[in-house]
Copies of this chain bind each other. A is one copy, B any other.
């Protein structure tokens, strides 16, 4: 928590309990929650917290590069505290979204895209869809 306070200060953001708590939730979960999900897991601790504040805070954190916004083909956005670009895989049965880290083949992929399109690439969003090991058994 002290560390998160520090990070917010470094970005010249006022350190409020609401911000800290939203940021903390994102850092501690691997579930890539939506704004609504974050709001629901917070409103016990912060009964006066409003969904608008969640959205404003998430927007602020995205603007400062502290979290990233995901778009997994759903009707709402998800958020991820891991800013380093990494692919995600979503289970079409249970709906969970998982990170995939340490991919070796991405570098080659980027190079091929660059060669084919002549774009000056900045970042990418890679989403895979299928059935997770648990759902495969059922």
Residues of chain B contacted by A74 (CB below 8 angstroms): 71
| B91, B109, B110, B112: the one within 8 Å of A119 (CB) | B91
A122 pairs with B129, CB closer than 8 A: yes
**Contact pattern, A 72-104, Cβ under 8 Å of B = 1, otherwise 0:** 111000000000000101011000001010111
Residues of chain B contacted by A113 (CB below 8 angstroms): 87, 89, 100, 103, 128
Assembly CA distance A72 to B87 (angstroms): 15
Interface centre among A74, A128, A133 (most CB of B within 10 A): A128
Tell yes or no: A105 within 8 A of B by CB: yes
Tell yes or no: A117 within 8 A of B by CB: yes
A105 pairs with B109, CB closer than 8 A: yes
B103 pairs with A105, CB closer than 8 A: no
B103 pairs with A116, CB closer than 8 A: yes
Tell yes or no: A136 within 8 A of B by CB: yes
Q: A69-B73, A73-B69, A100-B113 are in contact. Are A120 and B136 (CB under 8 A)?
A: yes
Q: Which residues from chain A sit less than 8 Å from chain B, CB to CB? A: 69, 71-74, 87, 89, 91-92, 98, 100, 102-106, 108-110, 112-113, 116-133, 136
